[in-house]
Amino acid sequence: MNHQILSGKYELIGLLGAGAGSQVYLARHRKLEHFRAIKCISKQSLARSRFLLEAEILQSLSHPGIPTIYDLEEDEDSYYLVEEYVQGESLDAFVLRRQNLSLAFVVQLARQLCDIIKYLHSRPVPIVYQDLKPEHIIVYGNQIKIVDFGIAAYISKEGNPFQSYGTEAYAAPEKKNGTCCDERVDVYGIGKILEFLYNNLDKENQIYHLEALIEQAIAENPMDRFSCVDDLTSELLKIQTMHVKTEKHLLNRIAVIGTRHGTGTTHIAISFNVYQNQGEIPSYYSEQNRQGDLWRIGESRKGTIDSHTSVIRYGAFRGMPIGEMDQMTDFSDGTLIQDCGTYESSTIELENCQGIILVIGGKCWDEPLAKAVYEKLCMHKGLIPIVNFGNEQMARQYAKCWRRSVYCFPLDPDPFVLTNAKCRFFETLQKKEGW
């Protein structure tokens, strides 16, 4: 089905996965140039009623931890569920790439997972997800989404909602024996995810409190588990207070890299910093190039410089010259925006960054170098290409070539002034990319 056009607007690019009689394809909206995930199933499939229920459930949901549904299409042979394509990696792949996890990461992920499941359980007609496992949790930056609502169901007081119980290793015992189910099947699922993470936890951070929490969450008898997700969240908060208070929270590192000098890397990095701080998101700009622009900015703008930390403040801007960030001990969460200059001159380890903003000039002669740099960075899961100087035509051209979203930064005279156009730009970026 590669490159087949669906409903006259979606180009199918490749297969993302398959199972239970359905297939999931990566697709591109031909006009909007946005990627979508399209799940399709034959109308002859015995699972078609489940597929339509999944579409009904997802259409009623709105939560940052759940993919957005855009459309339900059909033709003579199949149904097609068009949903948000989540760029990231599954939790099992994420853990596989890391030797040890920190307790801070485990608690933060578990709390996010609890928040998503609580939202489902709190709907006017409560919903149980029923299929929590590492493959269904997508990690992007410091956030997660759960995908594949194939066996999600409305809670029934009359018995086991549907016969399918998901993956055996993660399924609650009552799902397997067909007895009545309630919200505690998902409490069990969260417990199994925590067990998976605990087994990959840095040994120094394996604590009895977390072991006891997991043991209660995955108790064989539902009556012995936490009665609801709120109770589980309360215990996670206790662990965070008692054991994570001296540990740094996850720092969201964003590298801003230009394809060449003069593309406006510093301008965009400063603008992003001002936007986040004005929105009360802790953020620091870190100069990671040898241009020395930050000191000149501090002097020309008459910004204040903290003699102890070397932090330059000007309005909502917070920034540090090269090398000074290493001395900061109290900045443990929020966003660190690293101005790396050009790709060729960058010295930071990009694999440690949750995101990379690739800044491309707006001229046609920028194209060969832009494509060469893009080829070197395109496998990074957090890469965001941005064409500067308001050149929407070039942004569309790159998007068509690379088959992905390419954003256009508005023409802007002052990085320290938060205009409406820049607010809309960063709001769009955060909504679509999860930053």
Window from 31-40, 145-154, 169-178, 285-294 with minimum mean pLDDT: 285-294
Q: Tell me the Cα Rg of the chain.
A: 24
Helix axes 392-402, 367-377, angle to 10 degrees: 50
Report the percentage of the chain scoring pLDDT > 90: 37
pLDDT value of residue 33: 74
Q: Which of 288, 283, 281 is nearest to 318 (CA)?
A: 283
At residue 122 the predicted structure's pLDDT band, cuts being 50, 70 and 90, is: very high
Window from 98-107, 272-281, 302-311, 398-407 with minimum mean pLDDT: 302-311
pLDDT at residue 248 greater than cutoff 70: no
pLDDT digits (tens, 9 = 90+) for 376-418: 998 887 899 999 999 999 999 999 999 999 999 999 989 988 8
Task: Give the CA dihedral 384, 385, 390, 396, nearest 10 degrees.
Answer: -110
Q: How many CB atoms lie within 10 A of CB 47?
A: 17
3-state secondary structure of 96: helix
User: Scanning the structure block, which residue is given the tokens 């101005």?
Assistant: 339
Structure tokens at 357: 């903003």
Strands 127-128 and 35-42: what pairing? unpaired
Mean pLDDT of the chain: 84
pLDDT at residue 249 greater than cutoff 60: no
Please report which residue ranges of 251-380 form alpha helices under DSSP H: 265-278, 293-300, 367-377
Q: Which of 107, 101, 66 is nearest to 84 (CA)?
A: 66
CA distance 322 to 72: 50
CA distance 160 to 293: 64
pLDDT at residue 351 greater than cutoff 70: yes
pLDDT value of residue 246: 46
Window from 14-28, 88-102, 321-335, 345-359 with minimum mean pLDDT: 321-335
pLDDT value of residue 176: 76
Q: Which DSSP string corresponds to 249-284?
A: PPPEEEEEEESSTTS-HHHHHHHHHHHHHHTT--EE
CA distance 228 to 141: 28
CA distance 177 to 159: 11
pLDDT value of residue 20: 67
What integer is the mean pLDDT of 216-221?
A: 94
With b meaning 16 or more CB within 10 Å and e meaning fewer, what string describes 367-394? bebbeebbeebeebebbbbbbbbebeeb
pLDDT value of residue 211: 93
Helix axes 184-198, 208-217, angle to 10 degrees: 140
CA distance 315 to 339: 19
pLDDT value of residue 255: 94
What integer is the mean pLDDT of 323-340?
A: 65
